[in-house]
Amino acid sequence: MTSKKTNNAHHHGDLRNALVQAGMELLTEGGVSALTLRGCAAKAQVSHAAPKHHFKDLAALREAVALECFVAFNQSLLDAIENGGSAPTEQLHSICRGYLDFAIKQPAYFDAIFSMGSLVSFSTDLGEQSPTAYETLAKVCSHFVTKERDALTVETQVWALIHGYSQLVRMGRFNEHTEAARDAPPSEGPFDQVMALLQHLAD
Amino acid sequence: MTSKKTNNAHHHGDLRNALVQAGMELLTEGGVSALTLRGCAAKAQVSHAAPKHHFKDLAALREAVALECFVAFNQSLLDAIENGGSAPTEQLHSICRGYLDFAIKQPAYFDAIFSMGSLVSFSTDLGEQSPTAYETLAKVCSHFVTKERDALTVETQVWALIHGYSQLVRMGRFNEHTEAARDAPPSEGPFDQVMALLQHLAD
DNA sequence: TGTACATCAGTGAACGCGCGTTCACTGATGTAC
DNA sequence: TGTACATCAGTGAACGCGCGTTCACTGATGTAC
């Protein structure tokens, strides 16, 4: 029971939230194109006109769902750092690992973040105390800034490499092309070998 | 006149090709979601049931359009290499430059290749004499394979970095957030600085 | 060179589907007094 | 504490739209003889 005592036919109590959660499930089940107003309403067991009281239009609902995906992504990066070593190179490895893991474990959320919200959400202030994904990335990268290499460069090098790699994995680049492995999660490929490219940042 | 003399009401002569070309235009104008059977038929000035004689379903038409995009991408990489220096590091720079340029100049094609055809097309034999994009990439990378770094690793390092970077640029990472620059092409950002990460491959 | 005919590649009407949106409505909530 | 009433947040029917698909059709093409 998240809401107080509102569980009636005519007053849901927390429909906005329920619609976003329904959207997350639809996203997982059928990808971005499955995110519809009617679909979310049905999943939340509410008439299909009900969402109009909470979202101006489909784009607004999708934006809310994308933001929720971003919150999860955000947390995934923070967790990865927390569970890894504290040395700069270890943190760098951890955040990249978290990035890739999210792409593998939550492929639909990953898609949503980078196909729906463009990159807006990446720096969107969530209004909480938690930093944005970009701030987290920037902090980890800050240890590798030198006279010849400014912050923007390091951040972009790291981001481009891990994002590109995650995309390749996500797109099935390293998948076995067998019938048997159809439902298996995608292979992560030569992650460590690729990340070795970043070890030069510490030189 | 590409076709012989067939320009009648009932026999288009080269409708399949015309539909794919129409699809390319729709793609440019409205993105992947604008690619519909009815849309292509309308653009090719043909009744909306006509495509059924050339494409089994919408997926088949989209596949054909994605393949055409890939052909253009393919050529873009070859041209970039041709117009650059012949030294291995120059070729590496050139192919990455071509990759990024394609993402900037043909964003819709870029999206189509990597969102519709998954990665299948990347290694798809085009049935011509020209190599696939992956073969081109692999050839350029082959000069940087060492005892500690096998071919797959180098290829993946380069591909991940340039693909990720191109995606960031494509998503507007380096855009000015001004109203004035709304219709301008996206800024390419610190391309050379980021590519500097690859110079270690030559060490 | 001409004719009969099968095949090919179009047309246009119709169908059902899911979608976003509008609308009059109504039950539940909360506030003024 | 009780009552009147404005507001909020739902319902369900209806609408129009674009879509893919099916279908009977027909004009153009090409081949057999």
Across the range B66-91, mean pLDDT stands at 96
Which of chain B's residues have a Cβ under 8 Å away from the Cβ of A117? Answer: none
For B107-144, how does the pLDDT look when each residue is reduced to its tens digit (9 = 90+)? 999 999 998 755 566 666 666 667 899 999 999 999 99
Nearest by Cα to B102 from B26, B169, B184, B183 = B169
Residue of A nearest to B203 (CA): A200
Contact positions of strand C to protein Cβ (< 7 A): 9-14, 18-24, 26-29
Hey, what are A56's tokens? Answer: 């101006």
A58 touches strand D (CB under 7 A): no
pLDDT of residue A11: 78
Q: Tell me the average pLDDT of chain A.
A: 89
Question: Is a pLDDT exceeding 80 seen at residue B1?
Answer: no
Question: Is a pLDDT exceeding 60 seen at residue B182?
Answer: no
CA–CA distance, B76 with B95 (Å, rounded to integer): 9
Q: Which nucleotide lies closest to A14 by the C1' atom and the CA atom?
A: D9
- Do residue A118 and residue B160 have CB atoms under 8 angstroms apart? no
Q: Under 8 Å CB-to-CB from B172, ≥6 apart: which residues? A: A118, A119, B186
Question: Is a pLDDT exceeding 80 seen at residue A176?
Answer: no
Candidate from A114, A164, A193 with C-beta closest to B163: A164
Please indicate if any CB of chain A lies within 8 Å of the CB of B181. Answer: no
Candidate from A149, A163, A190 with C-beta closest to B168: A163
For B139-177, how does the pLDDT look when each residue is reduced to its tens digit (9 = 90+)? 999 999 999 999 999 999 999 999 999 999 999 899 876
Hey, what are A99's tokens? Answer: 């990035």
Please indicate if any CB of chain A lies within 8 Å of the CB of B113. Answer: no
Which of chain B's residues have a Cβ under 8 Å away from the Cβ of A157? Answer: 161, 193-194, 197
Query: By the 8 A CB rule, do B90 and B82 touch?
Result: no
- Do residue B157 and residue A197 have CB atoms under 8 angstroms apart? yes
> Can you tell me which residue has its alpha carbon closest to the C1' of nucleotide C10?
B10
Apex B159 CA angle, A140 and A144, nearest 5? 20
Candidate from A119, A153, A197 with C-beta closest to B190: A153
Own/partner pairs, A40-44, CB within 8 angstroms, 24+ separation: A44/A12, A44/A15, A44/A18, A44/A19
**A45 CA to chain B: closest CA distance, Å?**
28
CA–CA distance, B137 with B154 (Å, rounded to integer): 10
Instruction: Give the global pTM.
Output: 0.92
**B196 CA to chain A: closest CA distance, Å?**
9
Across the range A12-21, mean pLDDT stands at 94
Torsion sign (Cα): A101, A103, A108, A109: positive
